[in-house]
Structure 1
Amino acid sequence: MNDRELLSGCVEAATLAPSLHNSQPWRFRIVGDGVEVRADRSRQLQALDPDGRELMISLGAAVFTLRVALRAAGWIPGTSLLPDPGDPDLVARVSLLRPQEPSADARRLAAVISRRHTNRGPFTDAVVPADAVEELRAAASFEDAELIVATPASRLIICGLGRIAEERLRSDGGYRAELGRWTRGPRGRRDGIPATAFGPWDAMERLPVRDFGLVHPQLSGRPERFEPYPTIAVLTTVGDRVADWLRAGQALQRVLLVATRLGLSTTPISQPVEIPAIRETLSDPRTGRWAQMVLRLGFAQSASATPRRTLDEVLAPG
């Protein structure tokens, strides 16, 4: 296998990264012995993400997935974030530094890339073990982020803020229109959120579940009983610039892959960080630590995969 074939295979793995509304806002280009990762601004969600923060988190997740795939293929990757100040859409260059036998951890992470799916359904009442929580916190720390697991008291506050955020978003016509664009489309569409991934509504209205019934009332699921005491965590970074958002995305994907390896289901809950005032409440600007994503963790039946664009659609000719 030559370098281009190897890099193309790793790019294909990177396309399985999570993104807001499965928008897949990335483009890739193979240059020499490396891959350029570029932002596709045509896929930025203007109502939900006018500053591009979540777009960059999605791109950071793709960068991390590319790194894992390269490492599992037997290479130490070199990663340069925002390598060209004159080209802000070039968010990273990931290159082949030197060959090295992959570690067992790299192999395990790569093995679950295709099994990681957002689960919007109910979780069981089983408690996430303390040692699993510590592994997830270590995963975030490895990527220069912090995963703060909510206490029972702070969990109530976070879930309450999430419900307020969801209610504010529902009242925004631009949000509803945008939600419709990413959940409607022709059969066989390879992006967006299919009806199979919508998930039910929390019968007790404790958890801030994204309400797809706003634009698809005919597909809105019946309310179901969700876990009464969810494990909620907030992913934070020191700093809130573009580079910090990219680091948050890499940390998010490492946490999600480790969770998948541990048999955990995950739900990124982005509504609380999509309303600036609520996001600031979850952050600590005095210390420079900013909330980037809220995560729900637990045990559940496997969720179905969401579609992905083909390699030809995301990889520029080179």
Structure 2
Amino acid sequence: MTIRTSSTAAVLARAAAMAGYAPSVHNTQPWRWTIRPDRMELTAVRSRQLPAIDPDGRLLMISCGAALHHARTALTAAGWDYTVDRLPVPDQPDLLAVLTPTVHREPDAAAARLVQTVELRHTDRRPVSDTQLPEATLTQVVAAAEAEGIACGLLTGEHVFDLAAAASRADAVEKADPEIQDELTYWIGRHDRLGIPPGTLTGEQPATTVPVRDFGQPGALPSGPGHDRAARYAVLFGASDEPSCWLRAGEALSAAWLTATRLGASVLPLSAVIEVPVTRTALRRAIDDLGWPFLVLRIGIADPDHPGAAHPPRLPIAQIVDLEEVRHLLGRD
């Protein structure tokens, strides 16, 4: 069944709004959607790229890929099939994807359950509890990531300690870089719905096997008593190190994280080890040189006795969704 143009615009606008809840590096939200009468276009916002931490734009692309997956999930939950054209115009590298709805079916129950987790999903930097993650949960999280065309390799034994050593070295390298430290400071405690609210940072560095990023200033969140002994670590990696794979890695991140949230698990992305070339090379050896690592995921069960931070604020819809071309279809003239 073909939908009317006004209905198409409304469906796409709702999907773009849902995509605004996607995770992004330091909550930079580096995306913008343009709604056309028959499609939606995802564009990178380079002014919100992190030039010191992410000079190649890898983390920006991963962030935008997460937004793309959120939009896709919203369309599927509403019962719409669609086509996705990723990086469709070679000489327009910031046009990342075009989503075009095609056929309407019954709403998808599995996607609807994922949509229900979108506003629940958040970054929890506290140690996870000592409760062991059920293997069935871990299997589903890994499968969700790999369904997006990106490998998700679990680290075990000595490879976890290799990751810990690489993360420690990455932390030392970045602490010694004044440009990176200035950039981190700039993105903490802003009042424009961007960046990292202090309430999502722990008051002291948590005791963990694999260090989490030290933001250089204490937050307002109690770190809790845990030590991450029950945490599991996975690496998202691909066969090539190029923007198309980075975008896919973001889609895999979103799929894994929403699945984990639905199953009661906590996910913390660890990107510092990816940001420093020498530690990224060490991490590649930890996955036996099978591919290029894009992101590390810590997966576990959050401590139920120590509530974590709420979802950080998001930009208003008007700042991330361009409705100008369809405003008359939506009755907003």
Aligned residues: 314
User: Displacement, 1:263?
Assistant: 0.3
1:266-290 CA distance string (max 9 Å, x none):
1101111011121122226996611
1:177-227 CA distance string (max 9 Å, x none):
1011111333xx211110111124445453322222x2x358696785422
Separation of aligned partners in 1, 2:127 and 2:301 = 9
C-alpha spacing 1:113/1:163, structure 2 compared with 1 (3 Å): same
User: Displacement, 1:163?
Assistant: 1.4
| Segment of structure 1 superposing worse, 158-167 or 219-228 | 219-228
Query: Which residue number in structure 2 is paired with residue 266 of structure 1?
Result: 267
Query: Which residue number in structure 1 is paired with residue 292 of structure 2?
Result: 290
Query: Which residue number in structure 2 is paired with residue 309 of structure 1?
Result: 315
Q: Which of 170, 193, 197 does residue 196 from structure 2 map onto?
A: 193
The AA in structure 1 aligned to 2:262 is: R
The AA in structure 1 aligned to 2:198 is: A
Separation of aligned partners in 2, 1:221 and 1:166 = 21
C-alpha spacing 1:139/1:314, structure 2 compared with 1 (3 Å): same
Q: Does 1:6 align with 2:11?
A: yes
The AA in structure 2 aligned to 1:198 is: L
Q: Given the two structures, how large is their TM-score scaled by the length of structure 1?
A: 0.93
Separation of aligned partners in 2, 1:218 and 1:281 = 30
Query: Which residue number in structure 2 is paired with residue 41 of structure 1?
Result: 46
Q: Does the 8 A contact of 2:201 with 2:218 survive in 1?
A: no
User: Displacement, 1:159?
Assistant: 1.6
Unaligned runs of 5+ in 1: none
Query: Which residue number in structure 2 is paired with residue 121 of structure 1?
Result: 126
Q: Given the two structures, how large is their TM-score scaled by the length of structure 2?
A: 0.89
Query: Which residue number in structure 2 is paired with residue 17 of structure 1?
Result: 22
C-alpha spacing 1:65/1:11, structure 2 compared with 1 (3 Å): same
The AA in structure 2 aligned to 1:77 is: Y
C-alpha spacing 1:35/1:136, structure 2 compared with 1 (3 Å): same
Separation of aligned partners in 2, 1:235 and 1:222 = 26
The AA in structure 1 aligned to 2:300 is: G
The AA in structure 1 aligned to 2:147 is: F
Q: Secondary structure at the match of 1:94?
A: strand
Query: Which residue number in structure 1 is paired with residue 239 of structure 2?
Result: 238
The AA in structure 2 aligned to 1:289 is: G
C-alpha spacing 1:265/1:223, structure 2 compared with 1 (3 Å): closer
1:1-42 CA distance string (max 9 Å, x none):
722222111101001110000000001101121110000000
Q: Secondary structure at the match of 1:51?
A: coil
User: Displacement, 1:239?
Assistant: 1.1
User: Displacement, 1:88?
Assistant: 0.7
Query: Which residue number in structure 1 is paired with residue 143 of structure 2?
Result: 138
Separation of aligned partners in 1, 2:80 and 2:96 = 21
User: Displacement, 1:162?
Assistant: 0.8
Q: Secondary structure at the match of 1:294?
A: strand
Query: Which residue number in structure 2 is paired with residue 253 of structure 1?
Result: 254
Q: Does the 8 A contact of 1:202 with 1:223 survive in 2?
A: no
1:69-112 CA distance string (max 9 Å, x none):
01111101211100111211100001101111133211111111
Q: Does the 8 A contact of 1:24 with 1:191 survive in 2?
A: yes
Unaligned runs of 5+ in 2: 1-5, 326-333
The AA in structure 2 aligned to 1:257 is: L
Separation of aligned partners in 2, 1:223 and 1:261 = 23
1:150-190 CA distance string (max 9 Å, x none):
1122111112211111111111100111011111333xx21
Q: Does the 8 A contact of 1:201 with 1:209 survive in 2?
A: no
Separation of aligned partners in 2, 1:219 and 1:78 = 43
Separation of aligned partners in 2, 1:126 and 1:35 = 42
1:221-261 CA distance string (max 9 Å, x none):
67854223421111111111110000111011100011001
C-alpha spacing 1:217/1:251, structure 2 compared with 1 (3 Å): closer
Query: Which residue number in structure 1 is paired with residue 212 of structure 2?
Result: 209
Separation of aligned partners in 2, 1:286 and 1:161 = 15
Q: Percent identity?
A: 36
Separation of aligned partners in 1, 2:181 and 2:71 = 33
1:98-145 CA distance string (max 9 Å, x none):
111133211111111111111111211111111111111211221111
Q: Does the 8 A contact of 1:146 with 1:237 survive in 2?
A: yes
| Segment of structure 1 superposing worse, 130-139 or 15-24 | 130-139
Separation of aligned partners in 2, 1:161 and 1:136 = 24
The AA in structure 2 aligned to 1:292 is: F
The AA in structure 1 aligned to 2:278 is: A
C-alpha RMSD of matched pairs (Å): 2.0
| Segment of structure 1 superposing worse, 222-231 or 92-101 | 222-231
Separation of aligned partners in 2, 1:224 and 1:169 = 27
